[in-house]
Structure 1
Amino acid sequence: MAVLNIRVDDRVRDQLRELADDEGVTLSEFVRDRLMEAVVPVFEAEEEHGDQAAPDSMRLADRQVLSMLHRILARVLPEDANDDDGDHEYQLMRARILEEGFTGEYWYEVAGFRTELSKRDCRRVIDILQMFRILTYSVSHLEKEGTPVDEDLARVLEFQGFDFNDSLEGHMDDYVKFQMRDGDRWTELQPQIERTDGGNSHFPMLETYMRMLAEYRRIMDSRDRGSLGRHDYLLSAEELQQIRDARIHPSRRHESQD
């Protein structure tokens, strides 16, 4: 067993000894038990992907407001209420948790909430969708011009969704669905999502998309923004191939060339 030496003020040592005497144990046993209590939980609920962790504490003002809302809801719920808001007694229970300060039960207040999808990650989703929109338009334009790209190239340049088994990518997929909720936005990408099991890639895709996006940005940055016309945002077959090549991790690109 390891030995842990700590220095405390004489006053603290005397107080600890008094507490140990009250419990009928030695000072060493008392301190060891308190350390075990701090680092070895008896029960720890598993946190599911995306679940928002319950706060360790709340401001008194927040507790008062939330408690009042629960009590108001308890009064206005129908007598036979039994949906997501629960019934009269359920709302009063949640009010009591807040009023009594039962921090171990604060999870009731965040149940169903997810951790935030950061502004950066929201922006990434929009950038990825916009890139695939331009890729789709470019492939279609080349076909109309009589110079269609290879079918394999066109296929790998379609949006393949996100991995539902990854917490971040799954959250990003929910944001994609939110963006497409009315059916009027990103319409050119919706058939691609339908072809990929409803947007489930079954494989992590974010890193791949970020490499493609980096190459796409390099291509667009090389153009004269002041003179871009309606078709100047479209990509050539060579540029499409460059973005396709960016899908492959740099450490494996020599393998694909063999």
Structure 2
Amino acid sequence: MAVLNIRVEDRIRDQLKAQADAEGVTVSEYVRDLVMEAIVPIYEPEVDHGDEEPAPETMRIADRQVLSLLHRILARVLPEDANDVDGDAEYQLTRAEVIESGFTGEYWREVAGFRTELSKRDCDRVLDILDMFRVITYSIKRLKEQGATIDDDVAYELEFQGFDYRDGLEGHMASYVKFLMSDGRWAELKPQLERHDNGNSHHEVLDGYLRMLAEHRRIKDSRGRGFRRDDYFLSMDELEQIATARTHPSNRG
């Protein structure tokens, strides 16, 4: 092991000695730990989509004041027999005490259950994907009413299969879809999700959706900017183009 000699002022040496004594280690051990912290980054596991947010190591005093006040307000307004996610008055007062006392090791209580954010970009992607499959669904319905026959393989590729629950990002997107559909929106897509294990595709589908979305946008951009209902329907050829786009170019026959 290499030896490193450094020169410091006497007052710095005395301060290091006092801090080392407080930690119960030698000055050499104390300085070595400081050097290691400065050079070797502390390992922090990456937070994936759907994981809970890590607990904050510190909070601004203003944030602590607000949180403490909210806990104390809840403690006063909760019914005496309260026993739901907000707990009871004692539970809320305990959380207020943690914040007021600055017990940072207990700050995890404030973010327990909070998930990582699904970015605005990814939320918009989900909305665009849902809108695309809505157009596809109604276009297929219209073509069938006109007597057209849809190839089974093409129809399968044009179904909204949800997202892969095993993938962090796609699983987060799946929960957003469930939230969006909870108030009745995109109801026409629910039968498709039910056919695919209630929206669990069991394989990653986002890349394929994005290729389909790019092709759908290209088709829309090639048209005039109409406002009639018919302007949004897709032809059989256009549907086949979008279905083909789902497969990666390297895997197309």
Match of 2:169 in 1: 168
User: CA offsets, 1:166-222, max 9 Å, x none?
Assistant: 222122112211221122x21211111111111111111111111111111111111
Q: Tell me by how many angstroms 1:34 deviates.
A: 4.5
Q: State the alpha-carbon separation in 1 of the partners of residues 5 and 155 from structure 2.
A: 66
Q: Tell me by how many angstroms 1:6 deviates.
A: 9.3
Q: State the alpha-carbon separation in 2 of the partners of residues 224 and 6 from structure 1.
A: 76
After TM superposition, the structure 1 = structure 2 runs for residues 1-258 of structure 1, keeping only pairs within 5 Å, are 1=1, 3=2, 10=9, 12-13=12-13, 15-20=15-20, 25-34=25-34, 49-183=50-184, 185-225=185-225, 227=226, 229-250=228-249, 252-253=250-251, 256-257=252-253
Q: Tell me by how many angstroms 1:13 deviates.
A: 5.0
Tell me the SS of whatever aligns to 1:136. Answer: helix
Task: Indicate if the aligned counterparts of 1:139 and 1:148 stay in contact, CA closer than 8 A.
Answer: no
Task: Indicate if the aligned counterparts of 2:65 and 2:100 stay in contact, CA closer than 8 A.
Answer: yes
Q: Tell me by how many angstroms 1:234 deviates.
A: 1.4
Q: State the alpha-carbon separation in 1 of the partners of residues 3 and 243 from structure 2.
A: 57
Structure 1 pair 25/84, CA: closer, same or farther in 2 (3 Å)? closer
The runs of 5 or more residues in structure 2 that have no matched partner are none
Q: Tell me by how many angstroms 1:79 deviates.
A: 3.4
Task: Indicate if the aligned counterparts of 1:162 and 1:200 stay in contact, CA closer than 8 A.
Answer: yes
Q: State the alpha-carbon separation in 2 of the partners of residues 70 and 157 from structure 1.
A: 49
User: CA offsets, 1:53-107, max 9 Å, x none?
Assistant: 2223222122112112212222333333332122232212111111011222111
Q: Tell me by how many angstroms 1:33 deviates.
A: 3.8
Q: State the alpha-carbon separation in 2 of the partners of residues 26 and 7 from structure 1.
A: 16
TM-score, normalised via structure 1 length? 0.84
Q: Tell me by how many angstroms 1:8 deviates.
A: 8.2
Q: State the alpha-carbon separation in 2 of the partners of residues 162 and 25 from structure 1.
A: 53
Q: State the alpha-carbon separation in 1 of the partners of residues 108 and 23 from structure 2.
A: 33
State the percentage of identical aligned residues. 62
Q: Tell me by how many angstroms 1:9 deviates.
A: 5.7
Task: Indicate if the aligned counterparts of 2:118 and 2:172 stay in contact, CA closer than 8 A.
Answer: yes
Cα RMSD of the aligned pairs, angstroms, is 3.0
Which letter maps to 2:71?
H
Task: Indicate if the aligned counterparts of 1:164 and 1:202 stay in contact, CA closer than 8 A.
Answer: yes
User: CA offsets, 1:10-29, max 9 Å, x none?
Assistant: 46455324433666754322
TM-score, normalised via structure 2 length? 0.85
- Give the paired residue count: 250
- Structure 1 consecutive aligned stretches of length 4 or more whose deviation exceeds 6 Å: 36-41
Task: Indicate if the aligned counterparts of 2:49 and 2:172 stay in contact, CA closer than 8 A.
Answer: no
